Amino acid sequence: MDPSDSIDTDKRTKVSRACDYCKKRKFKCSGRAPCDLCSKKKMECTFSIVDRRTIRRKNKKRRTKAEKDSSLNAGTYQPVTTTSSTSHAKEFVHKVVKNDQVDRKSLNMLNKSSQLPIHFQPLTMFPVTGKSDESDGSFEKKSELEEGESIEEDDDESGVSSSVEESDGEGVVKDNTETNATESTKKPQSTSNSHSQPHSHSHSHSHSHSHSHSKTHNTHKTHSWAEEAESHRVLFDAEGNLKYVGESAPLSFLFECRSIFAKTIGKSEFTEEPDSLEIFDDTDEVQEVVQMALPSRENLKRILRLFLINVNEACYLFDIKHFEKTVITPIYNNYGDCSVDQISLMNLMIGVGLLYAEIIGDPICQNMESPQMKSSAYFEFGIHLAKKYMNVGKLWISEAMALAFFYYSSTHQRSTAWLILGIAVRNAQGLGLHRKFINESFTDKGYVRHRRKLYKSLYVLDRITSVTLGRPLLIDDYDWDDFDTTDIYELDANGEPIENYNLKALIETTKVAKLIGKIIRQFYIDGVVNTIKAEKLAVELKQWASNLPEELQMDKAVNDDGDQNPNGEFDDRKISLLLIHLSHLYTVILLSRPFFMYINFKSNKSKIFQKPKGRQEIAICNFCRAAIKASSLIIQLMECYINYTRFLPERCESNALISSVLMASLITGMTALFLETYDYKDEKITIQTMMIHLNSAKRVLQF
């Protein structure tokens, strides 16, 4: 037998160098960027982990004769410097060029006319059509504390924010607008090995009591921090515990805006307002876990209704009919024979629904059989059971923790809610809810659909909560191979999918959430903003919006006031539409904000607005306008929403809605400051218009 017939020499070639993705997962790598596996998965292929066994020693014996002669002729000896792992990482990073460009198919699709009024399209100016610029489309933003360019993923790995040295090494843009921020940038570099990790909290900002409550009772001695006690860059609660808010959060952006306002127009109530510099802990003591009697079926019906309106219509947790059949009915028929999961989920659902009743002052609070039947009592007992049996690794643990997430969010314990959401996500991943072949291995198709819907909801909650709170993303996209599956609809007697408005909205919200993750990873980690990559993401956003079903378009969030469903109940679609389009508009702001702040306040390039030259400057101006338009649309949508909910007292406010309006208000205020400072004239963007939007935002936040 000919050896050449049995052995493929190309496949047997030894590869001494593998990319990070293949090396971590023990996969065979082709050794060249991009490798076959990364190309298949459409991932960035990097070679930052260097196998030093493959690096030849750089000593005098291996220097060529020409190098020796040149060094002798120069009369000086140049020592050989060893490169760090960071330099190797930059050397082996594969910069995708073809994938950065907007493909022709997408351009052709965007050229089609849309039925959506142009007023509701924040990205009409994309893709950019103009002459190409000689530059590569990238500019470097120094990764300073107030510029909001490094968050999320670095914190997940090291517990600190992105290193400043990475952007300083290329040093295209230097920001000297805030001396305090520059000083706080230098301090962490000299004390990076200390126990307190001060450069982690230099990104932290204050948090008003309407956004966060902490139940910490730590009596240990307070750490000494590198920052001064009067610094507004560090956030502590009443017990002296550190709190972190990252750069994608509006509270982080608030302090950047305050600093710019103070530098531009001097001190004012806005820049010096002290109340938001403190965190007020919830003074309620931890309650004793007591099992409460169940409410009457009539009261339970009302509680379930409030839970459905405020939770399940916005974000799927249960199939309510299945929940009533498998949990509610068995518990009320024979409580003693019920399992732990049924009892825990029942108490948690009652706790969440009754909490909303207490918030809105629903009459059911006075109709309960006992004054001790409070939301906190039911919740504490339910979460106690869930934590006690958390190691069983069942799906109901994720459901229970998701319920707890909504409870903590509604009681303004956002940090705790984020931690609880992490437990729900990790438990779901441990059960393979994100893997297609695991889901399809179950014979019960209804259970498969439930797994998929639940994981989509957890994904959306992760993106919204992490971004508005400025925390690392909990879910990565690389191994979620069941993302595109739309087999989540219930089937009728003929096996045909039953159309569900809320599930259709959930699918679209999940797509926006995926784009949020792309923006965070590409622009809010390394401090480098690339106009070509940003334009591609803008085109993706615009393409997604143009492909939305007509009933989910943004104008429906203003005009659609719901309808009667086949059961005769009021079908409220407003919250599902808001979830889609507030996520959409917040994503536009996240993508555009670095350009907006860089051009307007972080450089001397404000004249670009007057006469942009080249494709890059046109793109930058377009991103600034997109940020302004998205902000105004957020305020308009929320003003319509509060006018709509004035007559629907069953609705409770959401932290995500508040965060969106706050971010939009800050962008609008900064726009007004820019117009006033630089005397910029624009027919559509005027100071009068910005002030109208600011007054509207004030009414929304006071509602």
- Mean pLDDT, rounded, for 579-602: 88
Name residue 156's amino acid.
D
Q: How confident is the model at residue 262 (pLDDT cuts 50, 70, 90)?
A: confident
- 517: enclosing H helix or E strand: helix 501-523
Domain boundaries, the chain: 16-92, 114-139+527-703, 144-277, 288-411
Give per-residue pLDDT as tens, 550-566. Answer: 889 888 888 766 555 55
- Mean pLDDT, rounded, for 325-333: 95
Residue 460 and residue 517: Cα distance in Å, rounded? 11
- Mean pLDDT, rounded, for 600-616: 71
Q: What is the pLDDT of residue 112?
A: 60
Residue 101 and residue 401: Cα distance in Å, rounded? 42
Q: What is the pLDDT of residue 111?
A: 58
Query: Could you tell me the CA-to-CA distances from 175 to 141, 247, 399, 522 in Å, in that order?
Result: 8, 17, 46, 21
Q: What is the pLDDT of residue 225?
A: 44
Neighbour tally for 397: CB within 10 Å: 24
- Mean pLDDT, rounded, for 8-14: 49
Q: What is the pLDDT of residue 441?
A: 94
Between these two residues, 40 and 139, which has the higher pLDDT value?
Answer: 40
Residue 527 and residue 406: Cα distance in Å, rounded? 33
Residues paired with residue 530 on neighbouring β-strands, in sequence order? 138
Give per-residue pLDDT as tens, 199-228. Answer: 333 333 333 443 444 444 444 444 444 444
Q: What is the pLDDT of residue 198?
A: 33
- The upper half-sphere exposure of residue 131, i.e. CA atoms within 13 Å in the direction of its Cβ, equals 5
Q: Residue 250 pLDDT more than 90? A: no
Residue 518 and residue 507: Cα distance in Å, rounded? 17
Residue 496 and residue 532: Cα distance in Å, rounded? 43
Between these two residues, 266 and 452, which has the higher pLDDT value?
Answer: 452
Please, what is the angle between helix 375-388 and helix 340-360, to 10°?
150
Q: What is the pLDDT of residue 186?
A: 37
**Measuring CA to CA, which residue among 464, 484, 456 is closest to residue 316?**
456
Kindly state the tokens that stand for 274. 């002290």
Residue 606 and residue 599: Cα distance in Å, rounded? 6
Q: What is the pLDDT of residue 667?
A: 94
**Measuring CA to CA, which residue among 161, 54, 159, 133 is closest to residue 621?**
133
Burial class from Cβ neighbours inside 10 Å (0-12, 13-18, 19+) for residue 438 reads: middle
Q: What is the pLDDT of residue 457?
A: 96
Q: What is the pLDDT of residue 127?
A: 64
Q: Residue 110 pLDDT more than 80? A: no
Q: DSSP states of 324-365 as a string?
A: IIIIIHHHHH-GGG--HHHHHHHHHHHHHHHHHHHHHT-THH
Q: What is the pLDDT of residue 93?
A: 37
Q: Which of 57-61, 377-381, 515-519 has the lowest mean pLDDT?
A: 57-61
Residue 679 and residue 499: Cα distance in Å, rounded? 52
What integer best gives the mean pLDDT of the chain? 74
Contacts of 125 (CB under 8 A, 6+ apart): 622, 625, 626
Q: Residue 161 pLDDT more than 80? A: no
Kindly state the tokens that stand for 388. 């006690």
Q: How confident is the model at residue 637 (pLDDT cuts 50, 70, 90)?
A: very high
Task: Provide the b/e sequence for 462-500 (b: ≥16 CB within 10 Å).
Answer: bbbbbbbbbbbbbbebeebebeeeeebbeeeeeeeeeee
User: What's CA 592's distance to the chain center, in Å?
Assistant: 15
Give per-residue pLDDT as tens, 50-97. Answer: 666 655 555 545 555 545 454 444 444 343 333 433 443 333 333 444
Between these two residues, 386 and 45, which has the higher pLDDT value?
Answer: 386
Neighbour tally for 445: CB within 10 Å: 12
- 571: enclosing H helix or E strand: strand 570-571
Give per-residue pLDDT as tens, 331-346. Answer: 999 999 999 999 999 9
Rg from Cα positions in the chain: 28
Pairing of strands 138-140, 528-530: antiparallel
Kindly state the tokens that stand for 158. 């090291």
Is residue 236 a contact partner of residue 277, using CB atoms and an 8 Å limit?
no
Q: What is the pLDDT of residue 261?
A: 87
Kindly state the tokens that stand for 117. 């009024």
Give per-residue pLDDT as tens, 191-203. Answer: 333 333 333 333 3
- The upper half-sphere exposure of residue 304, i.e. CA atoms within 13 Å in the direction of its Cβ, equals 18
Query: Which phi and psi (to 5°) does residue 64 adopt?
Result: -75, 165
Determine the 3-state secondary structure of 9 from DSSP. Answer: coil
Is residue 483 a contact partner of residue 455, using CB atoms and an 8 Å limit?
no
DSSP annotation of 309 reads I
Is residue 516 a contact partner of residue 475, using CB atoms and an 8 Å limit?
no
Q: Which of 19-28, 93-102, 115-124 has the lowest mean pLDDT?
A: 93-102
Kindly state the tokens that stand for 482. 């069941």
Q: Residue 434 pLDDT more than 80? A: yes
Contacts of 341 (CB under 8 A, 6+ apart): 389, 394, 396, 400
3-class DSSP string for 198-266: HHHHCCCCCCCCCCCCCCCCCCCCCCCCCCCCCCCCCCECCCCCECCCCCCCHHHHHHHHHHHHHHHHC
Between these two residues, 651 and 359, which has the higher pLDDT value?
Answer: 359
Between these two residues, 96 and 450, which has the higher pLDDT value?
Answer: 450
